[in-house]
Amino acid sequence: MPRVSGVDIPPEKPIWISLTYIYGVGRSNSKAILREAGIEFGRHAKELTEDELAKIITIIDRDHPVEGALRRAIQQNIARLRDIQCYRGARHRRALPVRGQRTRSNARTRKGPRKTVAGKKGVKELGK
């Protein structure tokens, strides 16, 4: 099982799909990496030679932030938004959607399960 950037990539899948198992490498990045390395997309990961794997690893290390470094950079960006107290930082702090989605009827994924609040008494009940 080939190991790239600290991740075991599946040997039975085409290499362009296998590279997407690395955090920070999607389908388009995967194809760009393989194009630069001169490797066909259809080849399986187990068919690659050590030299080809080394090419892929050097390209990823040189040009693409992946795995721990990328996660750390994202967390630092979110922490910066919180520190400068901008709107997006406040939305992150309160665990609400950040990109302008509606929250009155949706956003259950971000807000969590419903917390039911008791309603006020009706007008008819107060008049008795």
Number of domains the chain is built from: 2
Judge if 24 and 55 occupy the same domain: yes
Judge if 44 and 83 occupy the same domain: no
In a domain, 107, yes or no: yes
Judge if 57 and 22 occupy the same domain: yes
pLDDT digits (tens, 9 = 90+) for 3-40: 888 888 898 999 999 999 999 999 999 999 999 999 99
Whether 36 contacts 62, CB under 8 Å = no
For a pLDDT cut of 70, what percent of the chain falls above it? 95
Judge if 15 and 49 occupy the same domain: yes
Type of residue numbered 110: R
Judge if 98 and 76 occupy the same domain: yes
Bridge partners of residue 8, in order along the sequence: 3
Range of the domain at 8: 3-64
> For the range 32-38, what are the long-range contacts, defined as Cβ-Cβ under 8 Å and sequence gap of 24 or more?
33/59, 33/60, 33/63, 33/64
Cβ-based neighbour number of residue 81 at 10 Å: 18
